[in-house]
Amino acid sequence: MPKFNNSGFASSLLVLMLLVLGIGAATYLTQQHTQLTPKADETADIEQLTNQLIQSGLGLRPEQQSRPDSNLEKISFQRKQLLLKEAEVNPAKFLEHARLAQQRSKFPASIAQNIEEESEITGALQVLHADNFDQKKSYYQYALIDSTSEEQDELLAKPRYDLYFVTNPPKVYSGSIVTVKSVKLASKLVTETGDPSGRKYNTKVKTPKPAISTGRQKVAVFLINFSGNKVQPFTVDQVKGLVLSNPASVRNFYREISYDKVNVTADVLGWFTVTPKTPECEFGDWGNQAKQQAKNLKGYNRFIYVMTYSPIDTGKCNWGGLGTIGGNPASEAWVFGYDSYISDSTFNHEFGHNLGVHHANFFSCGDKSVDEYYRCQNNEYGDPYDVMGNGFNHFNAPHKLTVGWLSDNDIQKVSQDGVYELVPIESSGKKVGKRVLKIAKLNSDDDYYLEYRQPVGFDKTLSSDLLTGVSIRFSNLSAFIQTKLVNPQPQRLSSPNPTSTPGPPPSGPVKGGFNYVYDLMDGEQFDDQINDITIKQISHSPTGVKVEVKFGPNPYLGPAAPEFQFSNSYCNFDKPVVNLSWTRSVKAVKYELYRDQQIIALVDQPDISINPYYSDNDLSLEQNHSYSYQLKAVDSSGRKSSPSDILSVETPDCKSTGKSPPPSPDSSSAPSQIPSPRQ
């Protein structure tokens, strides 16, 4: 006997009563739909909210489409806010959760506006670099302007999107034209990769733009305060001094350190009062509001925004300065002024990013001058010689080479034993001698760069402890990787030497005055045991330094071939799985895995699980089959080892289902399971 449904009977009876009373049943049913729709839970996660939208928001009748209930709109808005936050902190999770893009059109307009959509935009990429000097941290941010124009007025009228990459952002300067396939939600775009790979959401660089690092630089400087705090703590003349006329102005600084290759002119505009539209750090919008008030901006190729600091309006900006890496046709930089103080070194630091360089770091390897990179510590801003580190001094040699202020005529390339001389890097003139020694660092894609400093011009602030001889750095001359200063005599930092202070230099940028000996002294030697290179300083004087370079009999030839350590195969339900692990090869950063002489994966850890339920289809395995595997290790410069020995693996018969992986004989050697080993 069927159960009697009290609630259904009660509803039917109520509808009949409504009809008798003249109240439309459709009205009641619409109200019932609203009451039965799950209410938005403030603690609900994205998946819960997504499921609620699918269950209650899809397939609404026409009358419901035209007037969806407010609770569904609330659910969609709450989900949108959670997704927008996730885009910032975890783009991969955002793409995993943003699964309504293709169903967006099936929702009512008031709900669809809160739902993600697939997007393809060709526009100008902004590559932004944020500096938190107090915490010694920096990070990249990206934006996409939906325009390929070079006219500032037109760019202001076009949408600007925050852009997030799951992996591999493109290493191109700001202003480069790219096509981005992504998932779009409000003003945020999320894409899988910064290259044109086979992934669904990807990026293609259509027109890479070079940095503008020589010639006339016409700067528009905007003074900005906020509608909630209209203070004007510094004057136009104060800022003009910082940019143009003070001894340490941007103009004077870059004219000297570029050997007169950079000429800064500027206009200081403002004050402009901007109104924050959200409680977030919307620095791009603040700059655009100031530009719109200033109007005619033709002819400028640099924009600097000097903002008053208000905890209310800028509290979520966790940086003291921010600038584009390069910028063509125009770069941008944002600098905070604190009360009546503005840091001239911050101006010059951010302008360095605009010209196209990264930071100058210190590389600490414990009791060794240099070691495998994973054994060392990369100290942000740790180079005390460079304005891109924590000095207020000349760019180091790799930075000057990156921006084109030094040429091949200034470099002595060293590949054999000998004694070599350098003039001070501050030396001006066309025929002054060699300013830089370059030595190949074979175990990486970097090179060593040696330079010599003297107390000339902006390097007068250098401590005498930084002027004892050559300083040694390594770099690959990329604008997206920091230069690294090495300590040629690490034992100094652990000795009671009164002129030396243990540890890396403090955070910067600040002006001079350090007690750190990071130069060689006469008679001292730098040793790179991995590449079998020694550099010994013979003598130094105000006019130059003399060093001896020797190459030993055991130069680096590439990573060693890895050896297989563990393998097994088993059934995961109806499909075979193969687990492999191998020895970690010193100097290797990747491993190529071959199956039957064909490369099938490139992985960065010494293990892999080839599981059809988690891997791409081309990694699927046949049952009752024998496979032959080999490996090659790859170092950071692309050198490959010889192939490993061949490992044969037999897959089982998986006709019976429901089998799970056997326990690993050794948890330390158990392979990690990854979604796809292909990269």
pLDDT single digits (tens) 4-38:
333 343 443 333 333 333 333 333 333 333 333 44
203's CB contacts (< 8 A; 6+ apart) are: 165, 170, 178, 179, 180, 181, 191, 193, 194, 195, 196
Supply the mean pLDDT for the chain. 83
User: Which residue from 342, 175, 357 is spatially nearest to 254, judged by alpha carbons?
Assistant: 357
Q: Determine the number of helices (DSSP H) and then strands (DSSP E) in the chain.
A: 14, 29
User: For 79-83, 173-177, 512-516, 619-623, which range has the lowest pLDDT when averaged over its residues?
Assistant: 512-516
Residue 679 lies in a domain: no
Residue 170 lies in a domain: yes
219 and 336 part of one domain:
yes
For 570-585, give one letter per residue: b (16+ CB within 10 A) or e: ebbeebbbbbbbbbeb
In this prediction, residues 199-216 reach a mean pLDDT of: 94
27 residue type, one letter: T
239 and 195 part of one domain:
no
Q: What is the pLDDT of residue 246?
A: 93
Higher local confidence (pLDDT), 38 or 568: 568
Residue 603 lies in a domain: yes
User: Which residue from 340, 275, 277, 278 is spatially nearest to 306, judged by alpha carbons?
Assistant: 340
637 and 582 part of one domain:
yes
Q: How crowded is residue 44: how many other Cβ atoms within 10 Å of its Cβ?
A: 18
143 and 105 part of one domain:
no
d(CA 65, CA 108): 5
Query: How many structural domains are present in the chain?
Result: 6
Q: What is the pLDDT of residue 521?
A: 94
317 and 248 part of one domain:
yes
Q: How far is CA 23 from the centre of its chain?
A: 62
Higher local confidence (pLDDT), 430 or 242: 242
Indicate whether 668 pLDDT > 70: no
pLDDT single digits (tens) 489-501:
887 754 333 333 3
Indicate whether 89 pLDDT > 60: yes
Using pLDDT thresholds of 50, 70 and 90, give the confidence band for residue 2. very low
E-only strand ranges, 443-509: 447-452, 470-475, 483-486
Indicate whether 616 pLDDT > 70: no
Residue 676 lies in a domain: no
Sign of CA dihedral 211, 214, 215, 218: positive
Place of tokens 């050198």: 639
347 and 401 part of one domain:
no
Residue 473 lies in a domain: yes
300 and 183 part of one domain:
no
Q: What is the pLDDT of residue 663?
A: 43
Q: What is the pLDDT of residue 613?
A: 67
d(CA 604, CA 586): 13
By three-state DSSP, how is residue 549 classified?
strand
pLDDT single digits (tens) 525-545:
999 998 999 999 999 999 999
- pTM for the complete prediction? 0.77
292 and 317 part of one domain:
yes
Indicate whether 556 pLDDT > 60: yes
User: Which residue from 574, 662, 660 is spatially nearest to 623, judged by alpha carbons?
Assistant: 574
388 residue type, one letter: M
Residue 678 lies in a domain: no
Among residues of the chain, what percentage have pLDDT more than 90?
A: 57
Q: How crowded is residue 172: how many other Cβ atoms within 10 Å of its Cβ?
A: 22
Using pLDDT thresholds of 50, 70 and 90, give the confidence band for residue 173. very high
Residue 559 lies in a domain: no
In this prediction, residues 661-672 reach a mean pLDDT of: 42
48 and 74 part of one domain:
yes
Radius of gyration of the chain (CA): 31
512 and 450 part of one domain:
yes
pLDDT single digits (tens) 340-358:
667 788 899 999 999 999 9
Q: Are strands 436-440 and 411-414 parallel, antiparallel or unpaired?
A: parallel
Q: What is the pLDDT of residue 1?
A: 36
Residue 677 lies in a domain: no
Show which of 487, 519, 551 is a domain's final residue: 551
In this prediction, residues 306-326 reach a mean pLDDT of: 81
Indicate whether 505 pLDDT > 60: no
DSSP category for residue 465: G
**What are the C-alpha distances in Å from 81 to residues 46, 56, 93?**
10, 19, 14
Place of tokens 């563990």: 566
Domain that holds residue 3: 1-34
Indicate whether 261 pLDDT > 90: yes
Using pLDDT thresholds of 50, 70 and 90, give the confidence band for residue 176. very high
CATH number at residue 648: 2.60.40.10
- Tell me the β-bridge partners of 418: 549
351 and 488 part of one domain:
no
Show which of 64, 86, 112 is a domain's final residue: 112
Show which of 322, 355, 388 is a domain's final residue: 355
In this prediction, residues 418-440 reach a mean pLDDT of: 94
130 and 103 part of one domain:
no
Indicate whether 440 pLDDT > 60: yes
By three-state DSSP, how is residue 128 classified?
strand
